[in-house]
Amino acid sequence: MSDPLYFILCGVCVALVLIGINMMSKVKKAVGGNLLSAAATLFAMVLTVIRYGITSGAALYVCLAAGTVAGILGASKAKMIAMPQTVAVLNGLGGAASALVAGASAWDGAATAFGGITGGIAIAVGALTFTGSFVAAGKLARIIDSKPKKLPAHGFFTVLLTVLTVAAILLGTFGAAGWNFAVAVLSLLAGVVFVMRVGGADMPITISLLNSLSGVAGGIAGMAIGEPLLVAVGGIVGASGLILTQDMCRAMNRSLGAILTGKTTTAPGAPAPKAETPEKPAAEAPAGITEADVAERLRTAKKVIIVPGYGMALSQAQADVARLADALEKNGAEVKFGIHPVAGRMPGHMSVLLCEAEIPYDKLFMMEDINPEFAACDIAIVVGANDVTNPAANTAEGTPIYGMPVLRVADAPMKVVCNFDTKPGYAGVPNPMYTAPDVLLMLGDAKVSVGKLIGFVTAGK
Amino acid sequence: MSPILLVLIFVVSAVLGYFIIRAVPALLHTPLMSGMNALSGITVLGAMVAAASARWTVSLVMGCAACFLAMVNVAGGFALTHKMLRMFAGKGEKK
């Protein structure tokens, strides 16, 4: 295949990918967009086979086939609830693949200094993505403790690893190629060190960042072997991860630097961050409206807004929440869901859970769209969300969440909060809503609390 | 290809991608991320080239391993995204 034709076809491929992504911005077209991206990838592979005349080499094709089967089997087995860790694992594999590509080309001997350096960087970023993603997946699946872990002199280690990696890349380029093994080992270590000190609520940001890095690794590996298509798609993926990372940071009112250096922004004197696993629910509920008031309001409500959070995912109450919404709708109420961008453990986590529970997508509303409606609803129900509803974000100057955009649940005339306990959320700022007179606190397992609410709605029928 | 051109391609596609991806609503960020994740398996192209042009057994093994891993990423990623999106679209149309 001649060069110009190849480059034109590469351009077509990239265009198809971009159109596919563009289609993903509408839920109806998104399935097609994904298929288009998949088709473009297949097209790119065929293009590569023709361009490089890869017709021999059975091992290569066996590996490709085995990978396809393993990937599809894995995806079909994956549960929706396990989505964050599944994406993280796949992401790690992509990073490892990029590192291996660069490693193989370095072993064969890079022709130029540019090839050597980009190869070294690709090994570093790919290896870091690999271990980082697997540690993140372990934390998300709660195989490893999800609390931030800090080494003594953590910052020093990070700097040391970075300096050593850069040195090894230079040695690998201008000295013996064997130094690339040192690059790999150091970066594998760096991935662990980097993610181990990220905890709970910062996970969505870390996942997005790792996603970006796996794209960057691919793009740089493409530079190392001089493959433009790889470079282009790597660049697109890198950009997408960066957008998600930016969005998450903005929605949490935190800087990327603070998260990477593991600053858990706990307010001074505040109690320890909320335990992630259910222990003993607090028994006392502050005085205020009673369950009977709420039951009455729920039965007559015309408009209800439900705000889900990570607590719903933890207690797996999404199906119960769906039943509650159904019961309310049968009573003639309009039910909407208000979703905060960082609710959950990955970008868009809540929509996946709610859709799995068969709640129609058009009932889910992003924060900025639903916020004006809280004042006009009859009752708002919070299920396992805390920081993202905390009105203190608007008023409590000097606290970590001050200025963070929150769902304005506090505007609703009556609220039910089905949270596990009254401890402050991850940010460590007490939520004044818990003691407000128009709030009914239902502490304990969200599943049980939501079940009770369903009972209120259907009682007397 | 010349290094400058390659870096240029990287920057241009990142900028293009940035503006197109901005338009995706936050509610669809999980499938977007999962789709992007599948695309990052595009490194399979490099893996194929590396495996096919390997001059040593070590680089051949690395190339083939990369082929396997990248393909798991591509196939698994697209299949997962498809599963998720079908759920989104399907449930939206009911009722």
pLDDT in tens, A48-92: 888 888 877 788 899 999 999 999 999 888 887 788 889 899 999
B8 touching A, CB under 8 A? no
Q: What pLDDT is recorded for position A12?
A: 92
A91 shares contact with chain B (CB less than 8 Å): yes
Helix axes A446-458, A291-300, angle to 10 degrees: 60
Look-up: residue for tokens 């608007």? A394
- In the predicted model, what is the mean pLDDT of residues A122-144? 89
Q: Which of A202, A320, A387, A421 is catalytic?
A: A387
Contact B28 A24 (CB under 8 A): yes
- Interface-testing mutation among B22, B69, B78, B83, with chain A (most A C-beta atoms within 10 A): B69
Look at residues A43, A77, A111 and tell me which one is the last residue of a structural domain: A77
Q: A36 pLDDT band (50/70/90 cuts)? A: very high
User: What is the total count of domains within chain A?
Assistant: 3
Tell me the nearest-neighbour CA distance from B64 into chain A, angstroms. 5
Are both A392 and A369 inside the same structural domain?
A: yes
Query: Does A351 fall in a domain?
Result: yes
Residue A275 lies in a domain: no
The CATH number given to whatever domain includes residue A296 is 3.40.50.1220
Q: What is the pLDDT of residue A419?
A: 84
Residue of B nearest to A70 (CA): B72
For an interface test with B, the pick among A3, A21, A36, A223 (most B C-beta atoms closer than 10 Å) comes out as A21
Give pLDDT, residue A277: 37
What was the pLDDT predicted at A278? 38
Residue range A346-368: average pLDDT?
Answer: 84
Domain check: are A62 and A108 in the same one?
no
- Considering only CB atoms, A97 lies closest to which of B17, B47, B75, namely B47
Q: Which band of pLDDT confidence, cut at 50, 70 and 90, is reported for residue A35?
A: very high
What span, in angstroms and rounded, lies between the C-alpha atoms of A103 and A88?
Answer: 22
Strands A364-366 and A439-441 come out as unpaired
Which chain B residue has the Cα nearest residue A367?
A: B26
Per-residue pLDDT, A300: 84
What's the rounded mean pLDDT across residues B40-44? 89
Q: Do A316 and A344 have their domain in common?
A: yes
Domain identity same for A139 and A222: yes
Q: Of A20, A49, A244, which has the smallest distance from its Cβ to B29's Cβ?
A: A244
- Tens digits of residue pLDDT in A234-289: 999 988 888 888 888 887 777 777 766 655 544 333 333 343 333 334 444 445 67
Q: Are residues A252 and A345 in the same domain?
A: no
Q: Which residue of chain B comes nearest to A116, CA vs CA?
A: B3
Report, as an integer, the average pLDDT of A301-314.
87
pLDDT of residue A128: 93
Domain presence at residue A279:
no
CA dihedral A90, A96, A101, A106 (to 10 degrees): 170
Strand partners, A380: A305, A415
Q: Is A109 left (phi over 0), alpha (psi -120 to 50) or beta?
A: left
Question: What pLDDT does residue A268 have?
Answer: 38
Position A269 in a domain = no
pLDDT for res A172: 78
Nearest alpha-carbon partner for A164 in A183, A184, A189, A188: A183
Tell me: pLDDT of A154 over 80. Answer: no
Side by side, which strands form the sheet with A303-308? A364-366, A334-339, A303-308, A379-383, A415-418, A439-441
Please list every residue in chain B whose beta carbon sits closer than 8 Å to the beta carbon of residue A66: 68, 71
Do both A302 and A394 map to the same domain? yes
Check whether residue A308 and residue A216 sit in a common domain: no
Can you tell me the distance from the alpha carbon of A142 to that of A191, in angstroms, rounded to the nearest whole number?
18
d(CA A285, CA A253): 31
Angle between helices B44-52 and A83-107 (to 10 degrees): 30
Q: What's the pLDDT at A261?
A: 65
Q: Which of B12, B67, B86 sits opposite A67 (nearest CB)?
A: B67
Measured between beta carbons, the chain B residues lying within 8 angstroms of A183 are none
Residues A73 and A106 in one domain: no
Q: Would you say A453 and A416 are in contact if contact means Cβ atoms under 8 Å apart?
A: yes
- Which of A130-144, A280-294, B23-37, B59-73 comes out lowest in average pLDDT? A280-294
Chain A positions touching B5 (Cβ under 8 A) are 228
From chain A, pick out residues whose CB is under 8 angstroms from the CB of B21. 21, 236, 239-240, 243
B75 residue type, one letter: A
- Mean pLDDT value across residues A432-454: 84
CB of A229 within 8 A of CB of B45? yes
| Spatial distance between the Cα atoms of A109 and A437, rounded to a whole number of angstroms | 72
CB A454 within 8 A of CB A442: no
Q: State whether B43 and A57 contact (CB < 8 Å).
A: no
Please state the rounded mean pLDDT for residues A36-47. Answer: 92
Domain boundary (A242, A260, A278) is at A260
- pLDDT for A132 equals 92
Confidence (pLDDT) at B87: 80
Q: In 10 A of CB A279, how many CB atoms?
A: 8
- What confidence tier does A133 reach under pLDDT thresholds 50, 70, 90? very high
- The per-residue pLDDT for A38 is 93
pLDDT for residue A65: 92
The pTM assigned to this predicted structure is 0.82
pLDDT for A426 equals 66
**Testing the interface with B: which of A1, A100, A329 to mutate, by most B Cβ within 10 A?**
A100
Identify the domain containing residue A216 by its residue range. Answer: 78-260
Predicted local confidence at residue A2, as pLDDT? 80
DSSP letters spanning A240-263: HHHHHHHHHHHHHT--HHHHHTT-
Share of chain A above pLDDT 90, in %: 16
Q: Does A140 touch chain B (CB under 8 A)?
A: no
Task: Give the DSSP per-residue string, A81-102.
Answer: GGHHHHHHHHHHHHHHHHHHHH
In a shared domain, residues A2 and A110: no
Name the least confident of A181-195, A246-260, A379-393: A246-260
In chain B, positions 17-76, which contact chain A (CB-CB < 8 Å)? 17-18, 20-56, 58-60, 62-76
pLDDT at A330: 87
pLDDT for the residue A251: 79
Higher pLDDT, A12 or B90: A12
**Residues in A 116-135 with any Cβ partner in B closer than 8 A:** none
Same domain, A69 and A85: no
Using alpha carbons only, how large is chain B's radius of gyration in Å?
Answer: 18
Strand, coil or helix: A379: strand
What is the reported pLDDT for A417?
Answer: 87
User: Nearest Cα to A96, choosing from A160, A6, A184?
Assistant: A184
Q: What is the pLDDT of residue A282?
A: 42
Q: Is the same domain home to A119 and A236?
A: yes
Residue A56 lies in a domain: yes
* A438 is annotated as an active-site residue: no
pLDDT at site A246: 83
Domain assignment of residue A100, yes or no: yes
10 Å CB burial of residue A128 (0-12, 13-18, 19+) is buried
Domain final residue pick, A22, A43, A77: A77
Q: What pLDDT score does A92 carry?
A: 93
For residue B69, give Cα distances in angstroms to A20, A307, A329. Answer: 23, 39, 47
